[in-house]
Amino acid sequence: MVYWIIIMSTFVLDQLTKARAEKFFVDSPVNLLGGILSLTYVQNRGGAFSILEGKRRFFIIVSIILILFLCYMIFKSTSNLYKFSFSLIVGGAIGNLFDRIVKGYVVDFIDIKVIPVFNLADFFITGGVLLLTFLILKEGGEELFLKKKP
pLDDT value at 148 more than 70: no
pLDDT of 122 higher than 70:
yes
The whole-number average pLDDT for the span 114-138 is: 95
Q: Where are the beta strands (DSSP E) in the chain?
A: 30-32, 37-44, 106-112
pLDDT of residue 111: 94
Quick one: CA torsion of 1, 68, 83, 109, rounded to 10 degrees? Answer: -100
Compute CA 147 distance to the chain's CA centroid, rounded to the nearest angstrom.
29
Q: Where are the domains of the chain?
A: 1-144
Just list the catalytic residues: 108, 122
The Cα 15–Cα 38 span in angstroms is 19
pTM: 0.89
Q: Does residue 67 contact residue 90 with C-beta atoms inside 8 Å?
A: yes
Each residue of 38-95: pLDDT tens digit?
999 999 998 776 778 778 899 999 999 999 999 999 999 888 999 999 999 999 999 9
Q: What percent of the chain has pLDDT over 90?
A: 70
